[in-house]
A = this chain, B = another copy of it.
Amino acid sequence: MLTLTQEEIRNAVRAALHEDVGPGDVTTLACIPPEATAVATMNARESLTLAGIAFAETAFRELSPNVEFVRLAEDGQAVAAGAGVLRISGSARALLTAERVALNFVQRLSGVATATARFVATVAGTRARILDTRKTTPGWRRFEKYAVACGGGTNHRVGLHDLSLIKDNHLAALAGAAPNPVAAAVNRARELWPALRVEVEADTLEQVRLAVEAGADIILLDNMPPARLREAAALVAGRAQLEASGGVTLNTVRAIAETGVDFISVGAVTHSARAVDLGLDFA
């Protein structure tokens, strides 16, 4: 499970403040004296799984190093509608000016965590683990993967560099040049990148068989119905790990998980997660 450094959080928060505040929060500068203080609580307005609380703290603290916090919940924790997650006290200007940036981070990351937690709960008791994908918001890959982990999901590869995932288009390119493109691709990857695992995409049982024989570490079973997944699991018999993928929803995920696959990857938890509702209430 991926962990975030304070530095990358700070950099993202600074960029977000720069983007939102620009040359200055003209309303707050006009209405609020520099010495005024305030106390506020960030409250969940619906039930959610929390992620990103450190982003919120960083946003306020960037504007005023003396802001103080009481954490009422931690990342990864389920929070009921109406419950508080963070109490903030300090410069009123800092609280008002950073409010939107703090909420934008927590709402979106908790949205990813909450969506993930629903999938994870739905497959509870099976061997299957929920994986994220590369269908993330550009610039947010690590933050969203962190949120997936907060929701109980497991992180798949970080990017194109840390696992060889041989897909149909890669195999097509080798089709003319090698009698067994799957074996050729696996061997070539092993030779060039001895430190990396190799995964092979398979659309049919025949391709599953070829992938196992080529020594793939993981086989990606793309868009197969549960019955076919079950056959694939029987055929592989533990010689490789299995990842089911393709159009997975809360309605279908349990049946997939019960086929015996090791992993189910779900793009929707990152590419289409709805921001959950949180708000800042001033005392």
Query: Which residues of A come within 8 Å of B, CB atoms?
Result: 1-3, 12-13, 15-16, 19-33, 36, 38, 92, 96-97, 100-101, 103-105, 107-108, 111, 129, 131, 134-142, 154-167, 169-174, 185, 188-189, 191-197, 199, 217-218, 241, 262-263, 271-272, 274-275, 282
Contacts and interface: CB of A to CB of B under 8 A. Distances in A.
B282 A275 contact: no
B22 A159 contact: yes
Given A134-B20, A154-B194, A161-B162, A27 B139 contact: no
19 contacts: A2-B23, A12-B138, A19-B141, A22-B160, A26-B161, A27-B167, A27-B189, A31-B173, A32-B173, A36-B173, A103-B135, A104-B138, A108-B138, A154-B194, A158-B195, A195-B197, A195-B199, A195-B218, A197-B197
Contacts of A96: 169-170
B173 A92 contact: yes
Chain copies in the assembled complex: 6
A20 to B, nearest CB: 5
Contacts of A167: 27
A165 B23 CA distance: 15
A104 B136 contact: yes
Contact of A139 (B19, B36, B100, B274): B19
B139 A194 contact: no
Q: Among A111, A167, A174, A272, which residue has the most Cβ atoms of chain B within 10 A?
A: A272
Contacts of A191: 154
